[in-house]
A and B are shown apart, each in its own frame.
Chain A
Amino acid sequence: MLNFLQKAIVKSQVWKSIFRVGIPTDNRKRALAMLGNVVLHLHPVKVKKSGIRMSYTWCMGGTAFFLFLVETITGLLLMFYYRPTIEYAYVDMVDLREAVAFGIMRELHRWGAHAMVIAVWLHMFRVFMTGSYKPPREFNWNVGVLLLVMTLMLSFTGYLLPWDQLAIWAITVGSNMARATPLLGAEGPGAAFLTLGGQNLVHVGSDARFGLIAGRVIGGATLLRFYVLHCVGIPLIAAFLMAVHFWRVRKDGGISGPV
């Protein structure tokens, strides 16, 4: 009876349309299954024994990626309750903490963000100390540096969203750095030379900081802009870079081994 049921399911068109080949019976077919399946192919066909030794890798790259997934899921849930306007941002944040079911969701997102920054730093520290940035992996080190920047930008843009005093003044202080951008910042070196008919081209109403925060001071436009960057713009770039990063790990010969 059970045998019949199993046959009826496995031989059915629905089953075959999902699992195109049967259960692999030899090593070649097992390897091909890994290569041919969209979910399984994310994981390498072969993994070095040293590559799964926790004392060597600390699993920090994996942890950082896991935390990125945690942030994506919890962040998506927060978006159902959070409105990025001056009027609602702070009260929605308090509401998420105090009144919404599973109020821990906001804390998970917050602590996950801290943990992700730490995990990325530790991952880079491990890669540096094991010399894993050396050829042929130097390109992937650079992709990793860009991913670090994306992680910090996610952290920076997310910092404004609670819209409390800490958030507003931290972003004020942080975005003031953009004033000192060479040529593009109003107080940066070279900006004073960019004039047209005696008029300054780069001033507080047209410089890099103005484009970043959509105004001369942190306000509603900044909140909305950072929200869009935080939820859509930067995650998309980070996801693309991560795809390249993981792909290059495999193409460069897998995780580096101990010397």
Chain B
Amino acid sequence: MAEQDSGASSGGLKGFTRRGFFSWAAVGWVGFSAAMGGCLTAWGRFMFPNVLFEPPTRFKVGPPEDFTEGMVDERFKETRGIWVINEGGQLYALIAICTHLGCPPNWLAEQNKFKCPCHGSGYYKTGVNFEGPTPRPLERAAISIDPTDGQVVIDLVQKFLHEAGQWNDPASFVQL
């Protein structure tokens, strides 16, 4: 019986033992699991694109003289998603994404306010909220003057939040 348990004597498979079988089976399963894990990881990475067909997040909007005092410039809202505003001697860029749920608000010039069509959040020209469900002001994008050609440069990646006191940051506005 002991011979049979070892499995070595019971047929033509010479040297093929029970212990050996399980050792190889363990190697096989570990290898299979590793391969599956690798496939899953690759699949997960595959779903994250390397190249985006989106407009760049850093762009120029023209010389500061283009923006007249008190005007909300709507030229870049459709393509870039920002308003450039010249108010109180400062030039700043408001990101046209409602801080309630992410819709694009509209600038209502005759009422002198931003109004979101989705749920009715309202903001002053500065971007500070005053009505509707939104809990906080609009965000400002980084704005600067390119020293080489004097044009205004907007960087959407760097954001400035009023409630965090970041609108005092010199990168959040251009002093005219």
Contact = CB atoms under 8 A, between A and B. Distances in A.
Interface of A: 169, 172-173, 176, 204-206, 210-211, 214-217, 219-221
Nearest to A217: B54
Interface string B29-44: 0000000000000001
A214 B118 contact: no
A179 to B, nearest CB: 9
A67 B126 CA distance: 50
A174 B54 CA distance: 20
Q: How large is the interface on B (under 10, 10 to 19, 20 to 34, 35 or more residues)?
A: 10 to 19
Nearest to A216: B54
Contacts of A205: 52
- 6 A-B pairs with least C-beta separation: A173-B101, A176-B102, A172-B102, A211-B47, A214-B49, A211-B48
Contact of A216 (B44, B48, B52, B101): B52
Contacts of B52: 205, 215-216, 221
A243 B154 CA distance: 54
Nearest to B102: A176
Given A169-B118, A173-B118, A215 B49 contact: yes
Contacts of B102: 172-173, 176
B47 A219 contact: no
A220 B48 contact: no
A221 B104 CA distance: 20
A228 B86 CA distance: 45
B53 A221 contact: yes
Contacts of B47: 211, 214
A206 B53 contact: no
A34 B54 CA distance: 57
Contacts of A176: 101-102
Interface in B79-108: 101-104
B134 to A, nearest CB: 13
A210 B48 contact: yes
A173 B118 CA distance: 10
Given A169-B118, A173-B101, A173-B118, 4 more contacts: A211-B47, A215-B49, A219-B54, A221-B53
A93 B52 CA distance: 26
